[in-house]
Copies of this chain bind each other. A is one copy, B any other.
C-alpha cells in the first residue's frame, strides 16, 4: 500500500511492503496550500510516479488533506476515539480513476472550559506509536509547530491539548525584537536548560521571553545561544503547564525529540522516542488493515 501524510506545508509519501514496513519514502514541500488549482490527484500521481505497481495500490492518507481546504472534508471524530472509530469515519477522495484513495478524519476534544481542540494527522501517528511501543503509555507527546499532548488509555485517545510552541518560537525568532538580536543557533544545552529553569519562575511566559533581550543586552548570553535559551523557555512552559502522566512516548524528529526528552528528564520523566515516519506509516497501515477486515 501507499501511505500519505499530507499536511499544510509538506507532502510525505511512503511505499509500504505487505508487512507494513517502509520500502521507499519521498517528501515534497507540496502541502495542501501549495497545490495549484487544488489538483490533488495530479500531485499524488507525481509523487508516486515510477513506484512499481503504484497505480494498483491502495492509498491511505492522513493530515490536512481531510480538512475543509483539502481534497474532501472528512468531519472530525469526537474523543474518546479508538483506531476503529477512525477507520469507520474514513472517506474516499473523489478520484476519476479506478484507484481508491482513502482519507482519515481528524479528532476533536473539548477542554474543561468547553473550548474545542483539534488535530489532523497526529491521531494516526498516536495509534501507530501505540502499536510500536513496548510500554503502555498514558501520554503521547508530538512536538512541533503545534505540539499535541494526547492522553491515552486502553488503546483509545481520551483527549488532547494543543500547544502552539513551535509556531510561537518561529514568530519570535523571525519577527520580534528578540529575533533581531539572535545569531544563527549554535547548540547550547546550558542555555536551553537555563530557559527551562526560567519557565518555572514567577511572572509568566510573556515576561520570561523578555529575558532573551535583557540577558543579551547585559552580555550574559551570546547571540548564538539565544535560540536555545528561547526554546528552553517555551518548551519549559509547555511542559510545566501541561498535566503529563507517565509513561510518555514522544513522537517526532530526533533533534526536536531530544530537546523534549531533556525537558521531561528534568521533571523525572524518561520518555520513549519514536520517529514520526514510523508512527505515521504504522498508523496508516493499521487503518488499512481494519478497513480490509470490515470491507474484505
Contact = CB atoms under 8 A, between A and B. Distances in A.
Interface of A: 108, 111-113, 115-118, 146-147, 161-165, 167-168, 171-172, 174-177, 197-198, 201-207, 209-211, 214-215, 217-218, 220, 234, 237-238, 240-243
A203 to B, nearest CB: 5
A173 B106 CA distance: 26
B116 A197 contact: no
B161 A167 contact: no
A116 B202 contact: no
Given A167-B176, A171-B175, A204 B116 contact: no
The 5 closest A-B CB pairs, nearest first, are A204-B241, A163-B206, A113-B201, A116-B214, A115-B211
A161 B117 contact: no
B198 A238 contact: no
Nearest to A208: B115
Contacts of A237: 204-206
A110 to B, nearest CB: 10
Given A168-B206, A177-B167, A210-B146, A201 B112 contact: yes
Nearest to A169: B206
Contact of A164 (B113, B162, B206, B238): B206
Contacts of A206: 147, 163-165, 168, 205, 234, 237-238, 241
Nearest to A197: B113
Contacts of A220: 116
Nearest to A163: B206
Contacts of A240: 204
A219 to B, nearest CB: 10
A115 B210 CA distance: 10
Contacts of A238: 204, 206
A162 B207 contact: yes
A118 to B, nearest CB: 6
B116 A203 contact: no
Given A204-B205, A205-B206, 10 more contacts: A113-B198, A115-B214, A118-B214, A162-B207, A162-B210, A163-B204, A163-B207, A164-B176, A167-B177, A174-B175
A209 B164 contact: yes
